[in-house]
Amino acid sequence: MFMRIDHVGIACHNLEEKIAFFERTFELTVVAREINEEQGVKEAMLHIADGNGGGSYIQLLEPLGPDTPVGKFLAKRGEGVHHVAFGVPDVARALEEIGGKGIRLLDEKPRHGSMGSSIAFLHPKDVAGMLTELVQAPDH
């Protein structure tokens, strides 16, 4: 079902500061930036590698406000790994299959994600405490 790790999402207070840190420390490059109002984030993707059905990235996330998923996470836990996203060939189908196994879906249908992708989240309490995202890259 999972083709690769698409990205690891990291919650941070200041996106520009963390982009600069990742660029100078690990020599990564920002390949996309977006404000996603629906998800309540300002985000940047730093490219790591190309893989099966799409690339793999670090996703840096700054909340648009305190009452958003990332804003609440920062207040409760501070900066750190917020979610892990797996590449799948078809998000709608993956949701159906995973939902059928009794895992709580946070999204019943795919939503708009970074770089034109389709995304959906699974409840962290049902996945070993890990907020899990499914990603279908465009044209895949």
Note the residues at the interface with ligand V0V (CB under 6 A).
Answer: 9, 36, 39, 41, 43, 59, 61, 69-70, 72-73, 82-83, 85, 106, 113-114, 119, 121, 124-125, 129, 131, 133
Place of tokens 């409840």: 123
Asked if 15 and 34 count as a contact pair (C-beta separation under 8 A), the reply is no
Nearer to ligand V0V, 54 or 69 (CB): 69
Q: Strand 132-136 to strand 118-122: parallel, antiparallel, or no bridges (unpaired)? A: antiparallel
Q: How far is the CB of 78 from ligand V0V (least distance, A)?
A: 12
Place of tokens 């690891």: 8
Choice from 9, 54, 69, 87 touching Co ion (CB under 5 A): 9
Rg (CA), the chain: 14
Q: How far is the CB of 3 from ligand V0V (least distance, A)?
A: 16
